Amino acid sequence: MGLRELHRVLLDSSRTVELTGVDEQTFRHLKLIDNEDRRIVFRQVGFRVMGCPNGPPLCSELSEVTIDEQGRTTVGNIEVLGLGANIVPGHTQAANDGSSEPPFVPAYFHFLHDMVELGGCIMGGIQLEMLELVRRISARARTYDRALAVHVIDHVPLGPVLQDLHLAITDCMRSPCKQAEDLRKKLVQRATDIQEIFGDIDNRELQLNQQLLTFPDFLPDLRALTDLMEDRGVAVGNLIHNLNLVTGIKHSLGILALRSLDVDELEDLRDDFEIMDIDSEESWPDTLSVLESEIAELIQMRSDFMVPVQGFDLARQVLEHRIDELVAIEDKWAGTGIPAPDTMETLRETLRDKMSSRLITDQERHAFRFHFPVSPASERLDTDSQSEAVDNEEDPMDPGEMMFF
């Protein structure tokens, strides 16, 4: 979410923005948010290079950091294959297979990694948005609790309820966020194995195909994560459904409404409630109406919880699509040995079609273009996006905006 806002700020400028000293994770995330905009220029990016653990932490443009039209990045003759955590020295894209298209296996694997990371980011975003709502409601509730405690003896404060809600949300989100990060780390380790294959030029294609057929090894972790997302989504939904924000406040205001207040008492009460509305300052009924309108705002804030809650289904769908792709590998190819080249190409096309037909967020679409920049599926996406842009000229989406519906 923070990088999305940074990206928005950078693009608000009409000038080209040059970034230096960018760490590898920030670089990759900004490229995935929107890898097509040329107004953000990376002049200096930090990378860890496999086999060079003690090398310089930064590679500048003077060291030939290049980003080509397809979004591929090289540091000198070292290509960034996608994750950025480890880069294979000595192998440019042209040296890989002589074509302009990235090797399918590492490209698909890095796409898989980014979708798992996206799922984790959605979980983290849900937690941040919900806790921010709790904070905003708590700030308003403190004023009511403090004022009503003065004027109504048996007022039941809302503060403890919101404290419990904060703890319950934090507890619910801890496991899916951690499980997504644990799976992402496993994928990073496998990515290192894949990148090492590029050092073996003679057996590279065979070993990459062997790696592709082992990707279903991650199915148990993915299924466990989607099941957990579904479970926690239900749990958080129940927390919000059972959240009662206004009953106690309404009861206390009902007691207050029965009183007759003189001018001084009304002034004291308005000060306690921090009421700034000058049109109602001399009328107790008008002041009471202002307080009741605040209750309506609390009810609206409660309904605002339902927007981030829907993110559970979004994250789960993103990962279920990856499960479907891995099941296709498992059902048709695993355990049968290395298929013939034309059969492997059929498998690759099957996976490309599955990926491109189920991109439900802007982040998925950008990631697909990032890792498969010149595939026919990416070209179809470009055509579809142009059509959507024409259809939605009055309501454009900002780059990187999460789509919850």
| 177 and 144, same domain (yes or no) | yes
Amino acid 24: pLDDT: 65
CA distance 101 to 374: 6
Instruction: Decide if 370 is inside a domain.
Output: no
Q: Is residue 251 part of a domain?
A: no
Residue 191, in any domain of the structure: yes
**d(C-alpha 369, C-alpha 377), whole Å:** 9
Cα(174)–Cα(276) distance, rounded to whole angstroms? 40
Give pLDDT, residue 19.
74
Assess contact for 280 and 286: CB atoms under 8 A: yes
Co-location of 164 and 239 in the same domain:
yes
pLDDT value of position 334: 55
Do 138 and 200 lie in one domain? The reply is yes
pLDDT reported for residue 398: 39
pLDDT given at position 225: 96
DSSP string, 181-221: HHHHHHHHHHHHHHHHGGG-TTTHHHHHHHHHHHGGGGHHH
Statement to judge: residues 174 and 202 lie in one domain: yes
Distance of alpha carbon 22 from alpha carbon 28, whole angstroms: 10
pLDDT per residue as tens digits for the range 20-41: 777 766 776 676 665 555 667 7
Q: Which of 45, 79, 100 is the last residue of a domain?
A: 100
* Beta-carbon contacts of residue 312 (< 8 Å; ≥ 6 apart): 126, 229, 230, 232, 233, 236
pLDDT in tens, 347-396: 888 898 999 888 888 878 878 887 777 555 555 555 554 444 334 444 43
Instruction: Specify if 404 maps to a domain.
Output: no
Tokens for 313, please give them: 């289904």
Same domain, 218 and 129: yes
- Answer whether 362's CB lies under 8 Å from 399's CB: yes
Encode pLDDT of 73-118 as tens digits: 555 544 444 433 334 333 333 333 444 456 788 888 888 988 998 8
Sorted by sequence, the CB contacts under 8 Å of residue 322 that are 6+ apart come out as 112, 115, 116, 222
Is residue 214 in a domain?
yes
67 and 128 both lie in a single domain: no
Q: What's the pLDDT score for residue 237? A: 92
| Distance in angstroms (rounded) separating the CA atoms of residues 49 and 51 | 6
**Residues 139 and 209 reside in one and the same domain:** yes
DSSP string for residues in 274-314: T---GGGTT-HHHHHHHHHHHHHHHHHHHHTTHHHHTHHHH
End of a domain among 100, 129, 152? 100
Return the pLDDT at 404: 31
Residue at 1 is within a domain? no
Give domain status of residue 296, yes or no.
no
For 78, list phi and psi in degrees, rounded to 5.
-105, 120
60 and 142 in a single domain? The answer is no
Last residue of a domain, one of 79, 100, 121: 100
As for how many domains the chain has, the answer is 2
Question: Do 166 and 126 belong together in one domain?
Answer: yes
Q: What stretches in the chain show pLDDT beneath 50?
A: 49-71, 77-100, 385-405
Burial class of residue 258 (count of CB atoms within 10 Å of its CB; 0-12, 13-18, 19+):
exposed
Give Dmax (Cα) for the chain: 93
Say if residue 63 is in the same domain as residue 41: yes
Same domain, 114 and 201: yes
264 found inside a domain? no
Provide the domain limits for residue 59.
16-100
Same domain (yes/no): 113, 193: yes
Query: What integer pLDDT is reported at residue 38 of this predicted model?
Result: 61
What pLDDT, on the 0 to 100 scale, is given for residue 75? Answer: 53
